[in-house]
A and B are shown apart, each in its own frame.
Chain A
């Protein structure tokens, strides 16, 4: 279960980055579920989140991410 507040903030970013209105965030959602989610748009996703929330991700955090649930945990750890 994703934190509803965080989901509300992340959904428009995902929809914008991948240009998909129908994208619904679940903890299990990963790059293999979204056609547009490749290694380069993954960078765009992280940059968009960094800009929106004023945080910064490390190399490990960007490269090791597997799904939306892990992203949510990561953001909670960063105090968002």
Chain B
């Protein structure tokens, strides 16, 4: 790290690569199957330079070529369609993907042939059936020339540029099932007039601001992912982003030293779209939320608040945490401290912004942090991989990384003033979409904590469930629920019978298909609104309704929601003339929770498949509804006459 502070392009939230990185990469190919992916991900968790990315790529390729497994790295195909050279990008993307647990195959379109790649069904990219298509476009790709224009001329130019991008989208979308990554376009570094460029119609800055707004809207409207390259370039600085010499020599779209950063930003978005993102920020206290040690320095001695530069830095860290909370990230505390002492600033320090109520789980004791983090995840009913830890102590960070590599632990710079930006840059809380329900998620968890307290007081389970006053609403997929449905489908791992992932486009298709029984389920209780908590998708299969998908948020486990859901599904299936429900359990690393789901609900086993999947059937004419304590509201349109 340079002396002037953390530089974004060096990925300062990751540890520097170890000196033996190249050697460790070379040894990767010899490792047994289980150990390989663990070691590869450990290596990829460092701030790999372009050379390092190249080296880890080679290790992967060598292993594949030798016919060895890359399991459990998840295979994915990403196509890159760009107006520049994408060879160096391809390697960086494949190498960075290991950091996120993917075995990413990168397909490159023919150089200078973007339109052909999009529109010709037989193009390299369209034939590769990619899962994602990354449009790597810069301003040179657009059918635009900058220069002073009338407002009408500029509007026409913008429309033409957007029309072209949109034609690429439609091309890839009609020939593949890929989700597109649509980029915003950074302005060139050199102005035409100077300051005036921000308001002269037709100057790059003015023109691209309009184009980028259009691209953001296009992404939202087409179920594509928005990759804000313009924002990234601004953060890095356009001076560093653009490198005209490299464009002239090798048609590289942006400065080559930024490739590792660009690749990480692409992969974090891709991972977020598959539900891989953190749900909870766990905060250390001493020297993280305030300066000094509360146990030693006391309430008057800790540094916090306006008046001193360090005090303001810690205030800013608290503001960052609260801003995350406001967008739905759960806050927890994990500190080596005595509980009452640790709580003192929250209760009695006038400059403390975070209050006890903002913290869903507060753990202050002398036990090891890894164990405490496991507890926090358990109490929140989320995976350890949904946690991120902000801790100023390098030893604690190293310990947690070693014991629980699934936890996101950003490295922190020396100066606490830089903590907020490094945490934000880390992308640990990247989101591919944002719905109103995300914003109130933090509150669900607080409600849940209170619910479990209530549960502790009631020994009779039925009495407890009845006291919750639960109301469940079942409705067909609709436009309003689409984003959240897609989100649940892609991030629910534990209570998920088949773990089938669908894109927003797939969800839209099911919404419009009268043959598919696609249900979204919401739950309210006396403590609050849980929002959408379950999705069930049934498809006709002869005289049976095949349960393609049944998933539920673990927040509402053990409350009879499954029983109430089955009653509804069975009723609707019978109404549609089906005689059977057919269910499949497909085991994954994470869904052992529901192995006996169908047995518990009275299905009989009807076979098994390779890979451990079990098949279940329920006869509908003899089915009697399960008892539960939930009031059910049904808003599903009557079936179409067959």
Contacts and interface: CB of A to CB of B under 8 A. Distances in A.
B237 to A, nearest CB: 15
Interface stretch (B70-78, B250-258, B489-497, B570-578): B250-258
Contacts of A16: 22, 49, 51-52, 55
Interface string B126-158: 000000000000000000000000000000000
B85 A47 contact: no
Interface in B19-37: 22
Contact of B250 (A21, A43, A58): A43
Nearest to A47: B256
A43 B249 contact: yes
B245 interface: yes
A11 B145 CA distance: 45
Nearest to B10: A51
A58 B257 CA distance: 16
B195 interface: no
Interface in A3-53: 15-17, 19, 21, 39-40, 43-44, 47-48, 50-51
Nearest to A57: B245
Contacts of B245: 58-59, 62
Q: Is the interface of A mostly helix, strand, loop or mixed?
A: helix
A51 B88 CA distance: 17
Interface residues of A, number: 17
A59 B248 CA distance: 8
Contacts of A39: 250
B58 interface: yes
A17 B51 contact: yes
A40 B86 CA distance: 10
Nearest to B21: A16
B257 A50 contact: yes
Contact of A44 (B58, B248, B256): B256
A45 to B, nearest CB: 9
A16 B53 CA distance: 11
Nearest to A46: B256
Nearest to A19: B55
A21 B24 CA distance: 13
Interface in B29-60: 49-52, 54-55, 58
A66 interface: no
A58 B249 CA distance: 10
B256 A63 contact: no
Contacts of A15: 22
Contacts of B248: 59
B248 to A, nearest CB: 6
A58 B244 CA distance: 11
B87 interface: yes
A37 B509 CA distance: 49
A62 B88 CA distance: 17
Given A16-B22, A50-B257, A44 B252 contact: no
A22 to B, nearest CB: 12
Contact of B85 (A17, A19, A40, A48): A40
Contacts of B85: 40
B252 A19 contact: no
A40 B55 contact: no
B458 interface: no
Interface in B148-198: none
A47 B50 contact: yes
Contacts of B54: 19, 44
A48 B87 contact: no
A62 B249 contact: yes
Given A50-B257, A59-B245, A40 B250 contact: yes
Interface in B65-100: 85, 87-88
Contacts of B22: 15-16, 19, 21
A22 B132 CA distance: 39
B246 interface: yes
Contacts of A50: 257
A62 B245 CA distance: 9
A9 to B, nearest CB: 15
Contacts of B257: 47, 50-51
Contacts of B50: 44, 47-48
Q: What 3 A-B pairs are tightest by C-beta distance, nearest first? A: A47-B256, A16-B51, A59-B245
Interface of B: 22, 49-52, 54-55, 58, 85, 87-88, 245-246, 248-250, 252, 256-257
Given A19-B58, A44-B51, 20 more contacts: A16-B51, A16-B55, A19-B51, A19-B55, A40-B85, A40-B87, A40-B250, A43-B88, A43-B246, A43-B249, A43-B252, A43-B256, A44-B50, A44-B88, A47-B50, A50-B257, A58-B245, A59-B249, A62-B245, A62-B249
29 contacts: A15-B22, A16-B22, A16-B49, A17-B51, A19-B22, A19-B58, A21-B22, A40-B85, A40-B87, A40-B88, A40-B250, A43-B88, A43-B246, A43-B249, A43-B250, A43-B256, A44-B50, A44-B54, A44-B88, A44-B256, A47-B256, A47-B257, A48-B49, A48-B50, A51-B49, A51-B257, A59-B245, A59-B248, A62-B249
